Amino acid sequence: NAGVTQTPKFQVLKTGQSMTLQCAQDMNHNSMYWYRQDPGMGLRLIYYSASEGTTDKGEVPNGYNVSRLNKREFSLRLESAAPSQTSVYFCASSEWAGTVGYTFGSGTRLTVV
C-alpha cells in the first residue's frame, strides 16, 4: 500500500549540478504534480501532468523540467541547480486534475550550496 513514492528523501547539490527527482504512484491515478514548499510561502505548483502524455507549467516552472514517463511515473529535473532551488519538493497524484483528493509523497529535502 505504498501510495506515492519519492526518491531521494534528502539531497545536497553544488550550484550548477543537475539531478532528477523520481516519483511513482501505484493508485492508477491519471494526474500527477510537483510542488515545492518554502517557509512562509506554502505549496507552489511547479509542473503538473493532467494525464499520461501531457505536462503543463504551474506557478513556478523556471529552472525545472518534467517527464511523464508512463502513467505511474513523473520525474522532475533540475538542469543547473541554484541556491534558490533549496526547498522541500513534494510529488502528488490524484484521480483526475481538479479533483482534490491529492495523495502526497513524503517529500525530498534538497539543499543547493
Partner 1 sequence: RKEVEQDPGPFNVPEGATVAFNCTYSNSASQSFFWYRQDCRKEPKLLMSVYSSGNEDGRFTAQLNRASQYISLLIRDSKLSDSATYLCVVSASGGSYIPTFGRGTSLIVHP
Q: Point out which residues bind partner 1 (CB under 8 A).
A: 33, 35, 40-43, 45, 48, 50, 58, 90, 97-102, 104-107
Least separation in angstroms between residue 54's CB and partner 1 is 10
Least separation in angstroms between residue 63's CB and partner 1 is 20
Closer residue to partner 1, CB minimum distance, 7 or 102: 102
Closer residue to partner 1, CB minimum distance, 52 or 79: 52
Closer residue to partner 1, CB minimum distance, 27 or 97: 97
CB 106 within 8 A of CB 9: yes
CB 8 within 8 A of CB 108: yes
Least separation in angstroms between residue 111's CB and partner 1 is 14
> Residue 62 gets which letter from DSSP?
T
How far apart, in Å, are the Cα atoms of 66 and each of 51, 92, 106? 13, 14, 19
Q: How far apart are alpha carbons 63 and 100 in whole angstroms?
A: 27
